[in-house]
């Protein structure tokens, strides 16, 4: 399994990703989800790994051909922490600390209150690290890639989870999986539940076989690691909506990842789009540059432009009725899937309000939810683009 497949962010809540809801999200989901649009190409990069910590802030990566940019909005202030190289998997703690993986070689932790950046070198036994997640404000877990004889270094032959107490600065293994050429293990989408347990997907396969790998749900409490269940196919965790586990799985109806909510009766599809997984049609700008692929240029726009959408609505009239209850802001309009294909479901309408210059996206979202409280659960932040 190549590294480019599912290098994933994690957090508490529906964190990271675009969601086009099928119907109106639950009140719990509305309080957690702010679905931007990973995979959307803007003037000089692609938006990936958008995370939100409800009541704290948001963060997303603009993936460039070259060094990436991390955009963070905490307490209404938008900043770009000092970063280098390839940035993936931002995560936000309850205290507002931000972590991310850098070049898959190290984890960086940034405190916006002091502007101090701490570098956490990867565990000694690993060749790469990615997907950090805050277990608590002072404890962070991450996926570590480890070498397996006969498996090329750019492939995942073996992954394990590691945890660090930030006050002690030492990595400790949470899992102890073994890998071989004919039995590889990849760890994906670690998320932390409200009890502090880390849930994750274990993918197992044989690099010399043509059969599809197997997918399993596992959990680590720090004291015990165990398999919860085998999964019917390729599925990844997508965080929590309240106390309900959310999932990403391929969906023909979405032509991308479908978003599913766990219910007593099974999985219920509630929307479309990548949450912790990368969008299926996103292309890494670094690969474009290296391979000299000539893609059509996107329409010019400011890097990282954001908007707030209200929707989805089943008709243009319903969207127009919602807009009539909102303040008249320059650029505000009703749009469809054609204008925001990654944020609006086919056949649906939304009200789009660009975030005004000089205003933080969190404040813009709060304004919209205040203006139309009956649609507060349908208002989200999205990056703009064609």
pLDDT tens by residue, the chain, 386 residues: 222 122 222 222 333 333 444 444 343 333 333 334 444 444 456 777 777 777 888 888 887 777 888 989 888 788 889 998 888 888 999 999 999 999 999 999 999 999 999 999 999 999 999 999 999 999 999 999 998 887 766 556 899 999 999 999 999 999 999 988 788 899 998 988 888 899 999 999 876 666 678 999 999 987 899 999 999 998 999 877 778 888 988 888 877 788 888 988 888 888 877 777 766 655 555 544 433 333 222 333 333 478 899 988 878 888 898 999 999 888 999 998 778 877 777 777 899 999 988 888 878 888 998 898 878 777 888 877 64
Report pLDDT for 285: 55
Within 199-300, residue ranges assigned H as helices are 285-291
Report pLDDT for 298: 31
Q: For residue 267, list its beta bridge partners.
A: 262
Full-model pTM: 0.66
Report pLDDT for 282: 55
Residue tagged 């391979």 (tokens): 291
Report pLDDT for 302: 38
Coil, helix or strand at residue 358: coil
- Cα–Cα dist 116/136, whole Å: 19
How open is the CA angle 114-59-3, to the nearest 5 degrees?
A: 115
- Cα–Cα dist 186/199, whole Å: 14
Give the closest residue to 355 by CA, choosing from 315, 293, 305.
Answer: 305
3-state SS of the chain: helix, strand, coil percent to 5? 10, 45, 45
Coil, helix or strand at residue 313: strand
Strand 69-74 to 57-63 pairing: antiparallel
Report pLDDT for 24: 40
Give the closest residue to 378 by CA, choosing from 323, 300, 303, 306.
Answer: 323
Which two tokens mark 224? 């015990």
Residue tagged 């409200």 (tokens): 194
Round to the nearest angstrom and report the end-to-end CA distance of the chain. 31
Q: Report CA dihedral (17, 23, 28, 29) to the nearest 10 degrees.
A: 0
């Amino acid at each position: 399994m190549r590294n480019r497949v599912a290098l994933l962010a994690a957090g508490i809540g529906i964190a990271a990703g675009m969601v086009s809801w099928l119907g109106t999200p639950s009140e719990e989901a509305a309080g957690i989800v702010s679905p931007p649009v990973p995979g959307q190409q803007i003037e000089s990069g692609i938006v990936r790994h958008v995370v939100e910590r409800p009541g704290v802030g948001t963060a997303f990566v603009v993936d460039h051909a070259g060094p990436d940019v991390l955009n963070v909005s905490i307490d209404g202030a938008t900043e770009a922490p000092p970063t280098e190289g390839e940035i993936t998997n931002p995560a936000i703690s309850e205290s507002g600390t931000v972590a991310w993986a850098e070049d898959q070689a190290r984890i960086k932790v940034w405190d916006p209150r002091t502007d101090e950046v701490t570098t956490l070198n990867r565990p000694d036994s690993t060749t790469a690290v990615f997907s950090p997640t805050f277990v608590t404000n002072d404890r962070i877990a991450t996926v570590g890639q480890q070498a397996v004889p006969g498996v090329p270094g750019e492939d995942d032959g073996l992954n394990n989870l590691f945890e660090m107490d930030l006050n002690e600065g030492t990595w400790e293994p949470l899992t102890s999986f073994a890998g071989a050429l004919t039995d590889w293990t990849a760890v994906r989408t670690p998320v932390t539940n409200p009890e502090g347990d880390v849930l994750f997907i274990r993918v197992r396969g044989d690099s010399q076989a043509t059969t599809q790998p197997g997918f399993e749900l596992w959990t680590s409490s720090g004291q015990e690691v165990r398999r919860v269940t085998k999964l019917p196919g390729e599925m990844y965790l997508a965080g929590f909506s309240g106390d309900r586990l959310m999932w990403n799985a391929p969906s023909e109806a979405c032509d991308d990842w479908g978003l599913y909510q766990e219910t007593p009766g099974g999985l219920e599809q509630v929307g479309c789009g990548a949450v912790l997984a990368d969008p299926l049609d996103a292309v890494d700008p670094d690969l474009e540059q290296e391979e000299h692929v000539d893609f059509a240029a996107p329409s010019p726009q400011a890097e990282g432009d954001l908007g707030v959408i209200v929707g989805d609505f089943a008709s243009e009239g319903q969207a127009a009725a919602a807009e009539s209850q909102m303040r008249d802001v320059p650029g505000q309009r009703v749009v469809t899937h054609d204008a925001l294909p990654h944020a609006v479901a086919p056949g649906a309408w939304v009200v789009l309000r660009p975030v005004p210059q000089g205003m933080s996206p969190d404040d813009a979202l709060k304004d919209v939810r205040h203006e139309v409280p009956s649609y507060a659960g349908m208002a989200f932040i999205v990056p703009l683009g064609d």
